[in-house]
């Protein structure tokens, strides 16, 4: 049973692949009914499915495919011209075939689907009349049908042997078996299969050709194959005749060169790599720390080497796994020719689909996500975009509307573009509809740019169609597009010109999980900006920033770039003094550009995107979070949203950040607060004793670090600080330098109290921002008077 299951699995996977290709080919066939290579390819698909299904005892499927094969065979031999009506029946039978395959996948049996009606119609076609039965014939008595199908089955057995020689059957078995054997055996078996199978395909067609004495047109395609001597060349020959071989997808070489892997395993692998990347970042961070601490030690060299190898291999590994997950976007595009064809007939319009770039590769999870949005967009283009043939002619366009579907790489993303040459989007009509449906207010409508108006079509509940049709008009579709594309961090860009056409661009990142990011600092916070959106970074001085109409701008070469401070967007409190220089990260999105002012550039890092979870999802401007080398969390900037927010932010860049020192009116002596920083408890006591008579509030800290923490907490408003110079962890000079970085404490008087009396010590004190220098020992009165002077102590409190 297990063996059967495995064979069944292989059969299903292969069949689904074949059927997918079939749809595309058939539609193409309708346009070029004379294309023999295509016909041969399609015929072989039906044949392959039939062969395998009869081997696996799926009678209904065999029955159906057999009759399909009959029709196709006729067409192949020129006895039948494929008309749209015939094609409808053939397509219907393929739909049935898909349904059957689905049933088989779910239940391991092909019962429950009635194919007799379709078979009857197929029979009628192959009967030579070329006419198509109306579906009424389905109502034929069941008994008769049974008899008919029995007869057909009997026939089919014979036919089966005709079409499938013993060799073929054996090759089929060998191939199926070989797939589930272990690697060595698989290789050997495959070679045998390859040896037997390559002549097989042509032998089928040659048999038929000789039978029916067909035109020699197919000969050049099939003849070279049996002649080729070695297996290696055999593999190549079908490739040379790619057109002929491709539809059948039966190049024997593929058996050896690919293995099918459960997606779950790949997902798991990707998660593991994500963790590995985080660990690698951590390792690099530790390496840096160690380097700083043990500078010049020999083992550092070695550690450095190991760290770089690990990081190199991790990156390569990540790329390799990413590549294994890549699928050509053609997988999604394949179903559209059929869709367009059906829509053409349904809507009575004339439409053509041009596909290009179907080889462009995308991460599997993304390929799965974009299928639905594309269906909606294309349906929309067909229904609302492309006009009726007469309207088109009247407008001086060609009768047939063209929808172009193309995919191409752009930087770290791929772009899928859907263009139609239909009537385009009417901005005023869009606005009107939205106001009518209360989706926007009239005022909003008036202030809207064209681009913003185009984006209205993505509003839930919006529809331009006057009536709900089978195809679209429910006002759900485009909302789905937006949600799905946003789910994969994609960007949608719409362009449209009235009566010329509409172009929708979907820009989608290659992969979801791991991205390159630029880390920037603002005050004490860090943010990660996806590198894909960063065009460049520039360092400017603050006087290069101008204000125009309340917005900051700067001149960047020949352009004027509007600026926004990241701190204004993310409500960062400006505690630290901003320096004269700033860094501008130039962000690009479509045609939009924006300069983001940051305090510092930290560096480039590979980051693993983690979601903020349900509780915090949907925060404007934040796309997610990542965990950094030091274990901290860094937020990832959502560039799209940021551009939106930036529009509403007024400039505060040039205006002096007014974290102003509120001069609290002192009403009593204890309103004065003074911090004593000294590592010696005795010294602190002496200072306390000297100042207590004043009645001021005293706060003590044992070293610079502690003092800084107290300042940061902001529980007190200090009026002065007494600072010892020699302290553990952070000395007085460093403390003074740190304190001066804070806007709020820039003018806080720092009084050095030290036993260091050297001139250079005094100089350093002045440099680091100390205003007074008291040398130990000192008299209590002296200390008190210095403090009083520096805090402007009001004499009435004495």
Where do contacts with another protein occur on this chain (CB under 8 A)? 275, 278, 525, 569-572, 610-616, 619-622, 625, 627, 631-635, 713, 715
The least distance separating another protein from the CB of residue 301, rounded to whole angstroms, comes to 32
Place of tokens 């395609």: 221
Q: Which is nearer to another protein, 524 or 767 (CB)?
A: 524
Q: How far apart are CA 277 and CA 317, in angstroms?
A: 10
The least distance separating another protein from the CB of residue 611, rounded to whole angstroms, comes to 7
The least distance separating another protein from the CB of residue 91, rounded to whole angstroms, comes to 43
Q: Which is nearer to another protein, 477 or 629 (CB)?
A: 629
The least distance separating another protein from the CB of residue 444, rounded to whole angstroms, comes to 21
Q: Which is nearer to another protein, 378 or 566 (CB)?
A: 566
Q: Which is nearer to another protein, 130 or 521 (CB)?
A: 521
The least distance separating another protein from the CB of residue 659, rounded to whole angstroms, comes to 17
Q: Which is nearer to another protein, 594 or 609 (CB)?
A: 609
Place of tokens 């502690």: 706
- In this structure, the number of other CB atoms found within 10 A of the CB of residue 712 comes to 12
Cis peptide before 388 (omega within 30 of 0): no
Instruction: Extract long-range pairs of 86-90: CB within 8 Å, 24+ residues apart.
Output: 86/125, 86/130, 86/132, 87/26, 87/29, 87/30, 88/132, 88/345, 89/118, 89/121, 89/122, 89/125, 89/132, 90/26, 90/122
Which is nearest to 225 in space by CA: 206, 202, 204? 202
Q: How far apart are CA 387 and CA 391, in angstroms?
A: 6
Place of tokens 């049935």: 96
- In this structure, the number of other CB atoms found within 10 A of the CB of residue 210 comes to 9
The least distance separating another protein from the CB of residue 47, rounded to whole angstroms, comes to 49
Q: Which is nearer to another protein, 489 or 496 (CB)?
A: 489
Place of tokens 């004490």: 524
Residue pair 369/408 in contact (Cβ under 8 Å)? The answer is no
Residues recognised as catalytic: 47, 69, 380
Q: How far apart are CA 786 and CA 621, in angstroms?
A: 50
Q: Which is nearer to another protein, 191 or 526 (CB)?
A: 526
- In this structure, the number of other CB atoms found within 10 A of the CB of residue 155 comes to 12
Which is nearest to 408 in space by CA: 368, 373, 359? 359
The least distance separating another protein from the CB of residue 657, rounded to whole angstroms, comes to 17
The least distance separating another protein from the CB of residue 697, rounded to whole angstroms, comes to 18
Q: How far apart are CA 633 and CA 612, in angstroms?
A: 10
Q: Which is nearer to another protein, 72 or 514 (CB)?
A: 514
Q: Which residues pair with 528 in a beta bridge?
A: 519, 636
Q: How far apart are CA 114 and CA 145, in angstroms?
A: 11
Q: How far apart are CA 100 and CA 123, in angstroms?
A: 19
């Amino acid at each position: 049973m297990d063996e059967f299951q495995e064979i069944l699995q292989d059969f299903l996977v292969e069949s689904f692949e074949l059927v997918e290709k079939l749809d595309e080919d058939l539609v193409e066939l309708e346009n070029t009914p004379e294309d023999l290579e295509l016909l041969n390819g399609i015929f072989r698909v039906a044949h392959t499915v039939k062969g395998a299904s009869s081997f696996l005892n799926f009678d209904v499927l065999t029955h159906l495919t057999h009759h399909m094969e009959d029709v196709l065979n006729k067409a192949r031999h020129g006895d039948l011209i494929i008309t749209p009506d015939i094609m409808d029946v053939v397509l219907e039978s393929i739909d049935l075939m898909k349904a059957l395959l689905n049933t088989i996948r779910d239940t391991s049996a092909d019962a429950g689907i009635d194919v007799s009606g379709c078979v009857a119609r197929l029979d009628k076609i192959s009967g030579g009349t070329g006419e198509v039965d109306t579906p009424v014939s389905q109502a034929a008595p069941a008994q008769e049908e049974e008899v008919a199908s029995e007869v057909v089955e009997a026939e089919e057995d014979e036919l089966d042997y005709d079409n499938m020689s013993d060799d073929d059957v054996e090759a089929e078995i060998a191939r199926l078996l070989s797939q589930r054997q272990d690697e060595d055996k698989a290789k050997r078996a495959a070679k045998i299969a390859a040896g037997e199978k390559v002549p097989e395909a042509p032998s089928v067609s040659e048999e038929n050709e000789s039978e029916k004495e067909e035109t020699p047109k197919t000969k050049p395609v099939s003849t070279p194959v049996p002649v080729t001597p070695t297996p290696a060349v055999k593999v190549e020959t079908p490739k040379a005749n790619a057109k002929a071989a491709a539809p059948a997808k039966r190049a024997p070489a593929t058996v050896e060169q690919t293995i099918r892997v459960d997606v779950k395993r790949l997902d798991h692998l990707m998660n593991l790599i994500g963790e590995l990347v985080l660990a690698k970042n951590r390792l690099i961070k530790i390496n840096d720390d160690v380097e700083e601490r043990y500078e010049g030690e020999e083992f550092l060299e070695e550690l450095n080497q190991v760290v770089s190898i690990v990081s190199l291999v991790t990156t390569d590994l990540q790329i390799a796994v990413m590549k294994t997950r890549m699928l050509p976007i053609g997988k999604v595009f394949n179903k559209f020719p059929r869709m367009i064809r059906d829509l053409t007939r349904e809507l009575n319009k004339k439409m053509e689909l041009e596909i290009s770039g179907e080889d462009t590769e995308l991460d599997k999870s993304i390929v799965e996500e974009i299928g639905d949005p594309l269906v909606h967009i294309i349906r929309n283009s067909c229904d609302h975009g492309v006009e009726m043939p007469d309207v088109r002619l009247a407008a001086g366009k060609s009768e047939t509307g063209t929808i172009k579907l193309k995919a191409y790489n752009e930087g770290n993303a791929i772009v899928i573009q859907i263009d139609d040459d239909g009537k385009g989007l009417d901005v005023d009509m869009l606005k009107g509809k939205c106001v009518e449906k209360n989706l926007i207010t009239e005022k909003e409508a008036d202030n809207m740019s064209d681009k913003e108006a185009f984006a209205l079509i993505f509003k839930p509940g919006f529809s331009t169609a006057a009536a709900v049709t089978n195809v679209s008009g429910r006002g759900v579709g485009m909302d789905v597009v937006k949600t799905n594309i946003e789910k994969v961090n994609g960007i949608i860009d719409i362009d449209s010109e009235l009566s010329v056409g509409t172009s929708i661009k979907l820009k989608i990142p290659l992969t979801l999980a791991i991205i390159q990011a630029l880390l920037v600092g603002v005050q004490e916070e860090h943010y990660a900006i996806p590198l894909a959106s960063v065009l460049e970074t520039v360092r400017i001085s603050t006087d290069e920033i101008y204000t125009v109409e309340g917005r900051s701008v700067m001149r960047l070469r020949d352009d004027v770039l509007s600026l926004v401070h990241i701190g204004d967007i993310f409500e960062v409190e400006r505690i630290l003094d901003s320096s004269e220089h700033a860094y501008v990260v130039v962000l690009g999105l479509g045609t939009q550009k924006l300069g983001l002012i940051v305090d510092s550039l930290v560096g480039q890092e590979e980051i693993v995107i983690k979601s903020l979870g349900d509780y915090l999802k949907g925060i404007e401007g934040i796309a997610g979070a990542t965990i950094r080398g030091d274990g901290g969390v860094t937020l990832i900037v959502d560039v799209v949203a940021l551009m939106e927010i930036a529009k509403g932010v007024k400039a505060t860049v040039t205006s002096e950040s007014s974290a102003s020192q509120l001069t609290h009116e002192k009403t009593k002596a204890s309103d004065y607060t003074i911090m004593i920083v000294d590592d010696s408890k005795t010294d602190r006591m002496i200072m306390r004793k000297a100042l207590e008579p004043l009645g001021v509030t005293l706060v003590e800290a044992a070293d610079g670090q502690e003092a800084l923490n107290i300042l940061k907490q902001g529980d007190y408003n200090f009026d002065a600080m007494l600072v010892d110079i020699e302290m553990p962890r952070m000395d007085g000079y460093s403390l003074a330098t740190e304190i001066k970085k804070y806007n709020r404490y820039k003018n806080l008087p720092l009084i050095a109290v030290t036993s260091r009396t050297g001139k250079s010590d005094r100089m350093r004190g002045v440099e680091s921002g100390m205003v007074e220098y008291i040398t130990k020992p000192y008299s209590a009165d002296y200390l008190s008077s210095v403090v009083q002077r520096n805090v402007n102590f009001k004499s009435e409190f004495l």
